[in-house]
Structure formats: structure tokens, C-alpha cells
């Protein structure tokens, strides 16, 4: 019976996925809508209802904020993932979690397919599809929007013909995705990389011109690389990030304007706001500077760059992710302590850091009489450290003379 052929659709409440409900029905599917709360701050009860209204046979609304914080945002924080040195992975982080939930619902509902609303040009389609195939290679993946290739006008026609409500903000020039870790925005005006982003492109952060003239000093407590408290008050990780988004956002922290290389081969320009993420990344790095031994500090960036690429490229559920994770977990054992951050005029300035595992040894570092450093050791050290260079110089001088 055809009613058994179910598809689970990642439903956002917008025009594309609302039209997709109907379109998938026309392809012979029963549509189960699935909407995740990963901290985008929308009215998701409304979205859940709307799915049913436009024809879904069932509508899930899953609060995944804490799972997102603990499993995804925390990994990004500890790996300092910054794609191309700038983008702290907003959508790239939530896609695998959404894929995981879609698969879980699909397996529970005996669905044969899952569907997402991505077009054919973005990174998210890759992240969804590779994640889904990794989690359940038997599920079919449908991408209605990529498949139907309608113009905006054709899509509106279709919606009106089928009684699908047109969102009031349809003419917004912005295309937004948001979660706990930040907010991303592509928009028409950004397509000229010489033009500054319009103020309306931002939502989570104050413009510098409107930030308070008084700084705010906060102390962030980390335990084994995980932020657990602000100013001594314990928070769940999702609450801590949401709280920081507010506090740091008010001070204008975390605006990013990035011309980036997409996995699908083009350069695109996007604007991000990540007030909490940027604050935590700065604080966490400073605590690592204090507690990681030099050799770890110098190799970890190699692992970090690979992790950022891997997540950006949709390979979250892959064996390399697990192996990089194992490395990173091992580095976090002593990343425990308190970091004092001054939020002011768009900056998250680390002013102080302390840890019971601090490897900063004042008696070695000091230039006072307490100095315990062996100054004579330097002579031998330099002698051997520079020996290859010196031998090279002797040999080449000799050769130059010959030549």
C-alpha cells in the first residue's frame, strides 16, 4: 500500500519545505515532517503545526539544543575549528545532527526516504546526504528543491494553487540559518565583495557604534576543555552558549564577513555572527596556551585544520572524525581553569588566565633573582640547534669559493 511509502522531511516552516510537502505527496509519499530546535530562536511550535497544515501526516519537533551543544559545538570549540581561518562552522555543525535525527525518525517510522530542502549549489546538501548515507545507507535521499528547479515565481504559483501559505517575509533579501553556535546569512547585496554588508544583515550583535561604553568583565570556568560556569554560576552548555550570545552580542562581538571556498567548487561570500562562539574560542585557546605542552600546542593546529575541513565538507560521521576526536580528547585533560574576559567594543579580550595545571612557571620565566633557569644550558643548546645550518654554511662557502 502506498501509504506505507514514507519520507521524513527536514521541515523549516519556510516556503521551500512547505511546497516540498505537497510536491512529495504528488510523488506518492506520505510526508513526516521533522523540525529540530538547535537554538535558532524561532517559534517551533508554530512550525510544527504548519507542517500538518500543509499536508504532513505527522510532525515532529525535537529539542536537540543540549545534544547540539555537548556533541557538536563542544567539538568545534575544542578543535578551534575555523574554516579557512575565519568561519567557525555554523550550519556545517548542525547538518549532521539534523541528519542523525532524520534517520532516527525514518527508522522509527519505517520510512524509505528522507528529504531536505537544499538547492544544488550549497554545501548543506553534501552534509545532509553524506551524513544520511553514513548512518543508514539503505535510506533514499530526496532533494525536491534541487530537483524541481523552479523559479521563484513558478514556486509561488505552485504554492498558491495548492493553498500553501506564502510567508510574509518572502521578499526578505536574506537567507538565514541559525543555531546556538551562530547565525549565517547570504544575501543578494553580499554578492558584490566590494560592498560592505548592510546593517540589516545582522541580528545577534550590536553594531560597534551602539555597543555600551562600559566594558563587561566575565570569568569563564573550563573543566577538561568544557566551559561549565560564567562568573561562578554553573550552566548547562546550551544555556551557557545562549547566555554568552546575549552578553557578547550586546558588545558587538563575533561579526564575520567571509569570502569562502565552498566544497562544490565556487567562492561565495557570507556573513556570520557568533558572539558566544568567538568569546569561547578565544578563552579556550588562552587556557590551552597556559596548559598545553609546547609539542602538543604546535601539532594540534594541524589536527584542527583537518577537523575544520572535514566538518565543513560533510564528513562528520566518518572514521577520520572519530580518530581526530580521540586525539583532541586526549589534549583536553588539563584544560581546566578560569579565563577572565573583557567584552568591549566588539572585542573579547582575555585579560587573565589561571589553572591548577598551568605550565607557566614563574620561577623559570622571571628575570628577578628567583630565576631558576639554567642560562649556561643555552650555549650548548644553540650550538647543536644551529649545527645543521652551520655545516651547510661551511660546505656551501667552500663550494662558492671553488666555483
Annotated binding site for L-citrulline: 87, 123, 127, 175, 184, 260, 272
Residue 193 touches a copy of itself, criterion: CB under 8 A: yes
Task: Identify the residue among 331, 335, 343, 348 touching a copy of itself (CB under 8 A).
Answer: 331
Closest of 14, 45, 200 to residue 119, by C-alpha: 14
Q: Binding site for ATP: which residues?
A: 10-18, 117
Give yes or no: 94 in active site: no
By beta-carbon proximity to a copy of itself, the closer residue of 162 and 342 is 342
Residue from 37, 59, 124, 255 carrying the catalytic annotation: 124
By beta-carbon proximity to a copy of itself, the closer residue of 54 and 290 is 290
By beta-carbon proximity to a copy of itself, the closer residue of 43 and 140 is 140
The CA distance from 64 to 50, in Å, is 20
In this structure, what C-alpha cell is assigned to residue 181? 553556535
The β-bridge partners of 337 are 222
The least CB distance from residue 62 to a copy of itself, in Å, is 23
Closest of 273, 22, 274 to residue 150, by C-alpha: 22
Site for a copy of itself in 69-88 (CB under 8 A): 84-86
Residue from 146, 175, 239, 325 carrying the catalytic annotation: 175
Q: Which helix (H) or strand (E) holds 50?
A: helix 44-53
In this structure, what C-alpha cell is assigned to residue 10? 527536514
Site for a copy of itself in 273-312 (CB under 8 A): 285-286, 289-290, 292-303, 305-306, 309-310
SS3 77: helix
By beta-carbon proximity to a copy of itself, the closer residue of 22 and 347 is 347
Phi first, then psi, for residue 313 (nearest 5°) are: -85, 10
The CA distance from 216 to 234, in Å, is 19
What is the distance of C-alpha 137 from the center of its chain? Answer: 25
Residue from 59, 94, 95, 255 carrying the catalytic annotation: 95
Give yes or no: 16 in active site: yes
Site for a copy of itself in 122-181 (CB under 8 A): 125-126, 129-130, 133-137, 143, 146, 149, 151, 175
Residue 223 touches a copy of itself, criterion: CB under 8 A: no
The CA distance from 257 to 189, in Å, is 13
In this structure, what C-alpha cell is assigned to residue 52? 500538518
The total of other beta-carbon atoms located within 10 Å of residue 101's CB is 21
Number of residues that bind a copy of itself (CB under 8 A): 133
The β-bridge partners of 59 are 33
The least CB distance from residue 19 to a copy of itself, in Å, is 17
Contact 169, 200 (CB under 8 A): no
**What string marks each residue from 333 to 372 as x (binds a copy of itself by CB under 8 A) or -?**
-x-----x-x-xxxx-xxxxxx-xxxxxxx-xxxxxx-x-
Residue 42 touches a copy of itself, criterion: CB under 8 A: no
Give yes or no: 157 in active site: no
By beta-carbon proximity to a copy of itself, the closer residue of 75 and 180 is 75
Site for a copy of itself in 230-259 (CB under 8 A): 257-259
Give yes or no: 95 in active site: yes
Q: Binding segment for a copy of itself among 7-15, 26-34, 222-230, 322-330 (CB under 8 A)?
A: 322-330
The least CB distance from residue 39 to a copy of itself, in Å, is 25
Sign of CA dihedral 292, 296, 299, 305: negative
By beta-carbon proximity to a copy of itself, the closer residue of 69 and 308 is 308
The CA distance from 337 to 334, in Å, is 9
Left if phi > 0, otherwise alpha if psi is -120 to 50, otherwise beta: which for 80? left
**Residues marked as catalytic:** 16, 95, 124, 175
Amino acid at each position: 500500500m502506498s501509504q506505507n511509502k514514507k519520507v521524513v522531511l527536514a521541515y523549516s516552516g519556510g516556503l521551500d519545505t512547505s511546497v516540498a510537502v505537497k510536491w512529495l505527496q504528488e510523488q506518492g509519499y506520505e510526508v513526516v515532517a521533522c523540525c529540530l530546535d538547535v537554538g535558532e530562536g524561532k517559534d517551533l511550535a508554530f512550525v510544527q503545526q504548519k507542517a500538518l497544515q500543509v499536508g504532513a501526516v505527522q510532525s515532529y519537533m525535537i529539542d536537540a539544543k543540549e545534544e547540539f551543544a555537548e556533541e557538536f559545538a563542544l567539538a568545534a570549540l575544542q578543535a578551534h575549528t575555523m574554516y579557512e581561518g575565519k568561519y567557525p562552522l555554523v550550519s556545517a555543525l548542525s547538518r549532521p545532527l539534523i541528519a542523525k535525527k532524520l534517520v532516527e525518525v525514518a527508522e522509527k517510522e519505517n520510512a524509505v526516504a528522507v528529504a531536505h530542502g537544499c538547492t544544488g549549489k550549497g554545501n548543506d546538501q553534501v552534509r545532509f546526504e553524506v551524513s544520511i548515507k553514513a548512518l543508514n545507507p539503505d535510506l533514499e535521499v530526496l532533494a525536491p528543491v534541487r530537483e524541481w528547479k523552479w523559479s521563484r515565481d513558478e514556486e509561488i504559483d505552485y504554492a498558491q494553487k495548492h493553498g500553501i501559505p506564502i510567508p510574509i517575509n518572502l521578499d526578505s533579501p536574506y537567507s538565514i540559518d541559525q543555531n546556538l553556535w551562530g547565525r549565517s546569512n547570504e544575501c543578494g547585496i553580499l554578492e558584490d565583495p566590494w560592498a560592505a554588508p548592510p546593517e540589516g544583515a545582522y541580528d545577534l550583535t550590536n553594531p560597534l557604534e551602539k555597543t555600551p561604553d562600559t566594558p563587561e568583565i566575565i570569568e569563564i570556568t573550563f573543566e577538561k576543555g568544557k566551559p561549565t560556569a560564567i562568573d561562578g554560576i554553573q550552566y548547562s552548555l546550551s544555556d551557557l552558549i545562549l547566555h554568552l550570545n546575549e552578553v557578547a552580542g550586546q558588545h558587538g562581538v563575533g561579526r564575520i564577513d567571509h569570502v569562502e571556498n565552498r566544497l562544490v567548487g565556487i567562492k561565495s561570500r557570507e556573513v556570520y555572527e557568533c558572539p558566544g562562539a568567538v568569546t569561547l574560542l578565544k578563552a579556550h585557546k588562552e587556557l590551552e596556551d597556559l596548559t598545553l605542552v609546547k609539542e602538543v600546542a604546535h601539532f594540534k593546529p594541524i589536527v584542527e585544520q583537518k577537523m575544520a575541513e572535514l566538518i565543513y565538507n560533510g564528513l562528520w560521521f566518518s572514521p577520520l572524525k572519530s580518530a581526530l576526536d580521540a586525539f583532541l580528547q586526549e589534549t583536553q585533560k588539563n584544560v581546566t581553569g578560569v579565563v577572565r574576559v573583557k567584552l568591549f567594543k566588539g572585542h573579547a579580550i582575555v585579560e587573565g588566565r589561571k589553572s591548577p595545571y598551568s605550565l607557566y612557571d614563574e620561577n623559570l620565566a622571571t628575570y628577578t633573582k628567583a630565576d631558576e633557569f639554567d642560562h649556561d644550558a643555552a650555549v650548548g643548546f644553540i650550538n647543536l640547534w644551529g649545527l645543521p645550518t652551520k655545516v651547510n654554511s661551511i660546505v656551501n662557502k667552500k663550494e662558492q669559493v671553488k666555483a
